[in-house]
Structure 1
């Protein structure tokens, strides 16, 4: 038997899916919803919690419950796809801003991620991705300079993967990925249009060449309302 809060959840989901409740619309307050559905506030809280867990709403401090865009941009989890390749599917809606490019002595953290020797240096590439004129992704890439020499501003603004494969003639083979939700940093707040969101979806990747050399560590930091991370799984 469906509980009261599940019925309310299903009703609100339907309103979101059919466009009656549009993205960025604010839901009525818990008190108003309680009166509207003739249930207790605790029942409403359970329904809102379920909506939040399934990606339909986001609770923002001082603003209440905001409807998320269910037509999010899809990013493949298992594939190794460059932003340029994803952007090609979106047409002219995307732009890359190069924030920083430099060859440097890595921090202890980056040294550990890339399993570097004491004398090895890394390219640090920080880029902001704009979609529909909003800054919604912060990409922080660290590349082993011994394996990937000659990264230029032009390369960083275009596609590093394209440079690696077409110019350096290397084969990018596989990646190990980890997805977490983290508190937005000051850097995130300064570089992205967070629109009140306090959390960031972070995809951390260790990327390997065909000979199993680890050449790249990446943190791709996404505003949570704009993306849906997808995968295809088959049993057996």
Structure 2
């Protein structure tokens, strides 16, 4: 006999469906504990459990003394994010510092990953060096010949497209940004920084069919960094 799903999970699924629809907009008031008790005929304990789990999933925000509100990052909010490049990109150049095959990969590839990957270090410059990046690319994406000639090409993605016919810009990706200082003396010297100067750190993961194609860890001078974010919601 199939075990019946706990009622609180059924309620959560129903509310997630509502939150992912156009019924709610960001920052709208959400159902209270009392609302959920009356609507689904459940106890206070169950109602609180439902709200807490929705909050943990970032669907809602609970503010003591004010109520519960739809998170501004709920899944129905679609946004478009664009790098603004507050500099003349036609003047940008890229210098390859190092490129080689290695079996030493970041933890994102998983403990059981045994294949070699391309390790590529780059410096981007305009009037000065402004970004250091180190990337690990799946070995199949590039050839040794392409890497040898890469000093003449600003975009590794273009090399990949030419070699493997994979458009990296169209693959699933995740990017994280934080403000930090240079993690090594090498990066400080390359970007002409002191140990206390701030940088924008960007981590980027690119996957295809759940396989990691790229992991990049980069550090950029703040004055060369910008993002433009537009919500698709009315």
Pairwise TM-score range, normalised by the shorter structure: 0.5 to 0.7
The alignment status of 1:216 with 2:210, answered yes or no, reads no
Cα distance change, pair 88–148 in 1 and its aligned pair in 2 (3 A):
farther
Q: 2:192: which partner in 1?
A: 193
- Assess, with a 3 A threshold, how the Cα gap between structure 1 residues 167 and 129 changes in structure 2: closer, same or farther: same
2:167 aligns with: 171
Q: Which sections of structure 1, spanning at least 5 residues, go unmatched?
A: 1-76
Return the alpha-carbon distance in structure 1 between the equivalents of residues 102 and 142 of structure 2. 14
Structure 2 segments unaligned to the other structure (5+ residues): 1-79
2:230 pairs with 1:232 = yes
Question: Distance in 2 between the 1:154 and 1:88 partners?
Answer: 27
- Is this contact kept in 2: 1:137–1:220, CA < 8 A? yes
Corresponding residue to 1:128 among 99, 102, 123: 123
What RMSD in Å do the two structures reach over aligned CA positions?
Answer: 2.9
TM-score by length of 2: 0.55
Match of 1:90 in 2: 89
The TM-score normalised by the length of structure 1 is: 0.54
Query: Is the 2:178–2:200 Cα contact (8 Å) retained in structure 1?
Result: yes
- The 3 A distance-change label for structure 1 pair 196 and 114 is closer
CA distance in 1, matches of 2:180, 2:225: 15
| Cα deviation digits, residues 151-194 of structure 1 (max 9, x gap) | 51323651211122232112321210100111212122121133
Residue 115 of structure 1: how far off its partner (Å): 3.1
Does structure 1 residue 142 correspond to structure 2 residue 136? yes
Q: What is the distance in 2 between the residues matched to 1:230 and 1:204?
A: 18
Q: How far apart in 1 are the matches of 2:116 and 2:86?
A: 30
From 108, 112, 125, give the equivalent of 1:117: 112
